[in-house]
């Protein structure tokens, strides 16, 4: 089974956000980056499917700056076989452009499965996966939290408001994966050593600007300072405030 | 003149509540003189269309096909992109579970990006300018969408429906150009526990965290939610979902659901950034925590510092008295 996993290097979710001097991007000084958490589930699923099939290959791909090599190396340490970085100076805000670059690289790979995270925790775009599927002409199921493969047929579950949708679709396919599908492994020391010798190809690409322009990045307007109510009458006071001031009761 | 296609969502023949928000956001983008057409895909008749004109829809196009009994992602994307192509300046959807899936597909078919999960819309000199939370809600990004059509999804519960009377003429016709659902077929929809409202759709969310100490104590949270009425629902922090106390469907946060209810009550939740990512756009936030330094108090409008095992039953009792 041949499986591709598309991964993104993102700022750690614990970062303190500061706006860079250009007024429209993240100030990356002192920001820790790592593998997008949802992509960990995608990598894990790819490894399990390859292990289960007993043969095959897991290829990790990413579009991004040179520093993404480090993230790809960590995916190789988890157990992927090889990696490809489509290197750009900076990622465009237009996800369609990113999807096109990935689809161009994937067109020659003929994978049975192409896995993505449900979303990237920096941009919350939730779109690169389905766009790659459209470009490659293969079916796509998003936000998959359970997956059954039987030969060329597959059944996946996805959470919707108030329930779970069960989808049937043929392979090859693109899936974007949600939390709950599996428990990602940590790289072992042996894996980390082995990753150093695994192939990591860096292919420079030029991307057009696309149809979305970032005008600015700002911190959210601070919430009105909160009020702490205390003492024996605290509950009654809270109810009064919710009724009379917040008007939510 | 700006023309906007508002893509609405129905389930089992009933229009979903996000639809009015989508029409309102679309009208905002179109401007008072622009055109807003609403599009609903359904297997048959849809209820709830009559008031869309009040919120600014010039026309309501219902396109029917048996495949639309359930969500049919590929066929839905085909019909919507065909309708949009060349006819509209913008296509607007609600960023619900379905809308997030569908929006990306529609954008891909139109070969344009999707401005996803938008919380602010405006037009500036004939171009669309939108704002959206990024970095888990720790920043807001302003984008100019130059692609045409501009495909935009709106975060649910953010755009309060505004009355803006227009004709709202309903036009029903069979959907053309599709044979069946497509390659991806929804074969079953398993409902969550009966009588529970999804956290992302509730007007009041009462969430519990590790401070509850053990799963059985979530009864306190459930009772408090009930005391807030039928539009309230129970949420949870990841700590208690990972511990197996609560189902993942209830998890609020970066790896759970994003909610923007009128009232969010966090009980025994510390307020980790990943939790805040899912609830900081709530309109009013109440925190109940014994630790005065807990970060949840930084985003709370009202807080009670105290033992939840005393505060919550007292609050439930006070609310129950109030509703009698
Ligand atoms: C990649 C990633 C993604 C994540 N995604 C999510 C997510 O989607 N959602 C999420 O919630 N978390 C998420 N987390 C986890 C998050 O970092 C926190 O670990 C988690 O939110 C903590 O849950 P908690 O507040 O219930 O528990 P704790 O942090 O342990 O807080 C318990 C709180 O209860 C209070 N308390 C204890 N006893 C009482 C009492 N008797 N009365 C009153 N108060 C009491 C304590 O003072 C404390 O503040 C994620 C983490 C990572 C790394
Ligand atoms: N620059 C990128 N390179 C490779 N994969 C990406 C990139 N951006 C996003 N993805 C993939 O698409 C998923 C969804 O990202 P997004 O659409 O940005 O929310 C991520 O979890 C990754 O799997």
pLDDT tens readout for residues B159-192: 999 999 999 999 999 999 999 999 999 999 999 8
Cβ atoms of A207 and A92 closer than 8 Å: yes
Q: How far is the CA of A128 from the centre of ligand 2 (A)?
A: 5
Task: Match 């619900």 to its residue by tokens.
Answer: B96
The neighbour count for residue A239, using CB atoms within 10 Å, is: 18
Restricting to A residues 71-90, those with a Cβ less than 8 Å away from any Cβ of B are none
Residue with tokens 């709830």, as numbered in its chain: B48
Q: Is A73 a member of any domain?
A: yes
Mean pLDDT of A183-196: 97
Residue A99 is assigned to a structural domain of this protein: yes
- Looking at the CA of A117, name the nearest ligand: 2
ipTM of the complex: 0.94
CA distances from A185 to A6, A37, A45, A47, B274 (A): 17, 12, 10, 10, 21
Q: Which residues contact B257 (CB under 8 A, 6 or more apart)?
A: B198, B199, B200, B235, B249, B251, B278
Distances (CA, A) of A13 to A222, B135, B280: 19, 7, 15
Contact of B119 with B80, CB cutoff 8 Å: no
Strand ranges of the sheet holding B3-8, from the earlier edge strand across to the other edge: B114-118, B150-154, B90-94, B3-8, B35-42, B59-64, B169-174
B102 touches chain A (CB under 8 A): no
Residue having the nearest C-alpha atom to atom 49 of ligand 1: B270
The length of chain B, given as a count of residues: 324
Percent of residues, chain B, with pLDDT higher than 90? 94
| Average pLDDT score, chain A | 96
H-run or E-run covering B212: none
Over residues B280-287, the mean pLDDT reads 96
Question: In the structure, what pLDDT confidence band is assigned to residue B310 with cuts at 50, 70 and 90?
Answer: very high
Question: In the prediction, which pLDDT does A241 show?
Answer: 97
pLDDT digits (tens, 9 = 90+) for A108-132: 899 999 999 999 999 999 999 999 9
Query: Does the pLDDT of residue B195 top 80, yes or no?
Result: no
Q: How many domains does chain A have?
A: 1
Place of tokens 């999960």: B117
What pLDDT was estimated at residue A222?
A: 84
In this structure, how many other beta carbons lie within 10 angstroms of the beta carbon of residue B283?
16
Residue A143 to residue B97, Cβ atoms within 8 A = yes
| In the predicted structure, residue A214 carries a pLDDT above the cut 90 | yes
Angle CA(A75)–CA(A81)–CA(A82) in degrees, nearest 5? Answer: 80
pLDDT at A196 over 80: yes
3-state SS class at A145: strand
Whether the CB-CB separation of B131 and B119 falls below 8 Å is answered with yes
First to last CA, chain B: 53
Which of B66, A176, B96, A165 is closest to A155 using CA atoms?
A: A165
Q: What per-residue confidence (pLDDT) applies to A132? A: 98
pLDDT of A8: 98
Q: Is the pLDDT of residue B287 over 90?
A: yes
A238 lies in some domain: no
Cα–Cα distance, B11 to B313 (Å, whole number)? 36
Mean pLDDT, range A202-223, rounded to an integer: 94
Q: Is the pLDDT of residue A59 over 90?
A: yes
Ligand nearest to the CA of B290: 1
Say yes or no to pLDDT of B124 above 80: no
Return the exposure string of B16-47: e unless at least 16 CB atoms fall within 10 Å of the residue's CB, then b.
bbbbbbbbbbbbbbbeeebbbbbbbbbbeebe
Pairing of strands A173-177, A140-150: parallel
* DSSP 3-state of A153: strand
B30-82 pLDDT tens trace: 999 999 999 999 999 999 998 999 999 999 999 999 999 999 999 999 999 99
Nearest CA to ligand 1 atom 2: B274
In-domain check, residue A230: no
Is the separation of the CB atoms in B120 and A109 below 8 Å? no
Predicted confidence (pLDDT) at residue A82 exceeds the cutoff of 90: yes
State whether residue A148 is helix, strand or coil. strand
For residue A97, give the 3-state DSSP assignment: helix
Which CATH number belongs to the domain containing residue A93 in this structure?
A: 3.40.50.620
SS3 B157: coil
Confidence class for position A221, pLDDT limits 50, 70, 90: confident
Residue B203 to residues A202, B197, B268, Cα–Cα distance (Å): 49, 10, 20
Quote the distance between the C-alpha of residue B288 and its chain's center: 26
Q: Distance (Å, rounded) from C-alpha A56 to C-alpha A127?
A: 27
Q: Give the whole-angstrom CA distance, residue B316 versus residue B217.
A: 14
Above 90 in pLDDT, residue B193? Answer: no
Only one residue has tokens 């990045």, namely A217
Residue A93 in this model has a pLDDT that exceeds 80: yes
Say whether A130 and B101 touch across the interface (CB within 8 A). yes
The pTM of the full predicted model, rounded to 2 decimals, is 0.94
Q: Do A80 and A197 meet the contact criterion of CB atoms below 8 Å apart?
A: no
% of chain A surpassing 70 pLDDT: 100
pLDDT for res A209: 87
Record: contact B186-A166, CB cut-off 8 A: yes
Does residue B196 have a pLDDT over 80? Answer: no
Q: How confident is the model at residue B135 (pLDDT cuts 50, 70, 90)?
A: very high
Provide the chain A residues 184-223 that lie in CB contact (below 8 A) with chain B.
210-220, 223
- A47, part of any domain: yes
B83 SS3 class = helix
Residue of B nearest to A129 (CA): B104
For A40, the 3-state DSSP assignment is helix
Domain-located, residue A195: yes
Distance from CA of A193 to the nearest CA of B (A): 31
- Per the structure, the complete domain to which residue A180 belongs is given by 2-219
In a domain, A245, yes or no: no
Q: Which of B23, B31, B276 is nearest to B160 (CA)?
A: B23
Give a yes or no: residue A231 inside a domain.
no
Q: Which residues line ligand 2 (CB under 6 A)?
A: A 6-8, 36, 38-39, 42, 61-64, 91, 95, 98, 102, 116-117, 119-120, 123, 125-129
Average pLDDT, chain B: 96
- Please provide the size of chain A in residues: 249
Q: What is the pLDDT of residue B262?
A: 97
């Amino acid at each position: 089974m041949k499986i591709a996993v598309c991964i993104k290097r993102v700022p750690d979710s614990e970062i303190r956000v500061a706006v860079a001097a250009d007024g429209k991007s993240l100030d990356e000084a002192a920001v820790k980056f790592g593998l997008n958490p949802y992509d960990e589930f995608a990598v894990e699923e790819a490894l399990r499917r390859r292990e289960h099939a007993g043969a095959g290959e897991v290829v990790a791909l990413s579009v991004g700056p040179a520093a993404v090599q480090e993230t790809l190396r960590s995916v190789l340490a988890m157990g992927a076989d090889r990696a490809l970085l489509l290197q750009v100076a900076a990622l465009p805000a237009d996800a369609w452009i990113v999807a096109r670059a990935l689809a161009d690289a994937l067109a020659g790979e003929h994978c049975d499965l192409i896995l993505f995270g449900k979303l990237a925790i920096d941009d919350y775009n939730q779109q690169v996966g389905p766009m790659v599927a459209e470009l490659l002409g293969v079916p796509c199921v998003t936000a998959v939290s359970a997956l059954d493969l039987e030969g060329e047929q597959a059944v996946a579950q996805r959470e919707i408001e108030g329930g779970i949708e069960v989808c049937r679709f043929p392979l090859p396919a693109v899936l974007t994966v949600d939390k709950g599908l599996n428990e990602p492994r940590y790289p072992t020391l042996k894996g980390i050593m082995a990753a150093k010798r695994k192939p990591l190809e860096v292919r420079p690409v030029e991307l057009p600007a696309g149809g979305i322009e970032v005008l600015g990045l700002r911190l959210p307007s601070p919430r009105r300072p909160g009020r702490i109510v205390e003492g024996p009458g605290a509950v009654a006071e809270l109810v009064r405030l919710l009724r009379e001031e917040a008007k939510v009761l | 003149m700006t023309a906007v296609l508002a893509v609405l969502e129905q389930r089992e023949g009933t229009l979903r509540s996000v639809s009015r928000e989508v029409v309102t956001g679309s009208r905002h983008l179109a401007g008072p003189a622009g055109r807003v057409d609403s599009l609903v895909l359904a297997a048959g008749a849809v209820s709830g269309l009559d008031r869309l004109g009040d919120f600014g829809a010039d026309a309501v196009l219902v396109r029917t096909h048996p495949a639309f009994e359930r969500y049919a992602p590929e066929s839905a994307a085909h019909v919507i992109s065909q309708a949009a192509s060349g006819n509209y300046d913008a296509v607007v959807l609600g960023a619900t579970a379905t809308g997030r899936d569908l929006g990306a597909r529609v954008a891909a078919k139109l070969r344009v990006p999707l401005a996803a999960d938008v919380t602010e819309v405006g037009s500036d000199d004939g171009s669309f300018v939108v704002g959206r939370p990024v970095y888990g809600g720790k920043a807001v990004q302003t984008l100019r969408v130059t692609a045409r059509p501009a495909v935009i999804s709106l975060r649910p519960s953010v755009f309060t429906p505004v009355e803006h009377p227009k004709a709202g003429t309903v036009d029903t016709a069979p959907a053309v150009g599709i044979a069946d659902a497509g390659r991806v077929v929804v074969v079953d929809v398993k409902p969550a526990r009966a009588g529970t409202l999804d956290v992302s759709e509730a007007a009041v969310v009462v969430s519990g965290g590790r401070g509850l100490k053990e799963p059985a104590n979530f009864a306190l949270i459930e009772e408090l939610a009930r005391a807030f009425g039928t539009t309230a629902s129970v949420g949870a922090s990841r700590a208690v979902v990972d511990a197996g106390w609560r189902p993942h469907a209830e998890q609020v946060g970066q790896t759970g659901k994003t909610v923007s209810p009128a009232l969010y009550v966090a009980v025994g939740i510390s307020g980790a950034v990943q939790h805040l990512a899912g609830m900081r756009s709530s309109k009013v936030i109440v925190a109940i925590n014994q630790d005065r330094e807990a970060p949840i108090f930084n985003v709370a409008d009202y807080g009670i510092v105290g033992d939840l095992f005393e505060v919550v039953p007292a609050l439930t009792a006070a609310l129950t008295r109030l509703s009698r």
